[in-house]
Amino acid sequence: MPLDYQTDLFTAQGGDWVAIDPVCKMTVDEKTAKYKTNYEGKTYYFCAPGCKVEFEKNPKKFLKG
């Protein structure tokens, strides 16, 4: 599994690794994700534009540490 996946932002689902929307915690298939953003060198995936906007307003609110 890629190094990037060693975070709480991915989970195994049906033998595949899927991203977790950090805002609403829904799972998002990164291969088909329309909404994504890059923050501090990592890519985050979102289920909807609203989640992306929320994240970009205040990323730290949704990230650990």
Residues within the interface to Zn ion (CB under 5 A): 21, 23-24, 47, 51
CB of 6 to Zn ion, least distance (A): 22
CB of 17 to Zn ion, least distance (A): 18
Distance CA 21, CA 39 (A): 14
Q: Nearer Cβ to Zn ion, position 3 or 57?
A: 57
Whether residue 40 contacts residue 46, with contact meaning beta carbons closer than 8 Å, is answered with: no
Q: Nearer Cβ to Zn ion, position 9 or 21?
A: 21
- Which residue bears the tokens 């990592």? 42
Q: Nearer Cβ to Zn ion, position 1 or 39?
A: 39
Q: Are strands 42-46 and 16-20 parallel, antiparallel or unpaired?
A: unpaired
